[in-house]
Copies of this chain bind each other. A is one copy, B any other.
Amino acid sequence: MRITIPVAKVLAALLAEPDAQRYGLDLMRLTGLPSGTLYPVLHRLSAAGWLESDWETIDPVAAGRPARRYYRLTAVGVTQARQALADLRAAIPDDRPSWGGTEPTGAPAW
């Protein structure tokens, strides 16, 4: 499973509340991803066994909207996602290299 930024956003959204029922449009709002990015990501994660999903059991006519497909992390997915995000955060650490940035004419030693 290749971790990219869209993938990481999806994993972060799912990990934030592992018990919540998440569906496509919901994740689009949480991650800010367009549907053309999100759904392929969900399919890849499912194919990799990180996610499982099933259709909401409602009558679309009665509910007045299309049925949702709910996605949730598998046990494997939770572990892998946590590891992947931890690795990613470790690779992009906070900087703070001694000097505080846009100092007005402070430039000391060099």
A2 to chain B: closest CB distance in Å?
10
Identify the stretch in A8-16, A21-29, A41-49, A51-59 within 8 Å (CB) of chain B at 4 or more residues. A8-16
Q: Residues of A within 8 Å of B, CB-based: how many? A: 27
Tell me which of A9, A92, A110 has the highest count of chain B C-beta atoms within 10 A of its own C-beta.
A92
Count copies of this chain in the complex.
2
| Chain B hits for A17, CB < 8 A | 97
- Starting from the known contacts A8-B92, A16-B97, A89-B92, 13 additional A-B residue pairs (CB-CB under 8 Å) come to A4-B4, A5-B88, A5-B92, A9-B91, A12-B93, A12-B95, A15-B95, A15-B97, A17-B97, A32-B91, A79-B102, A82-B95, A85-B95
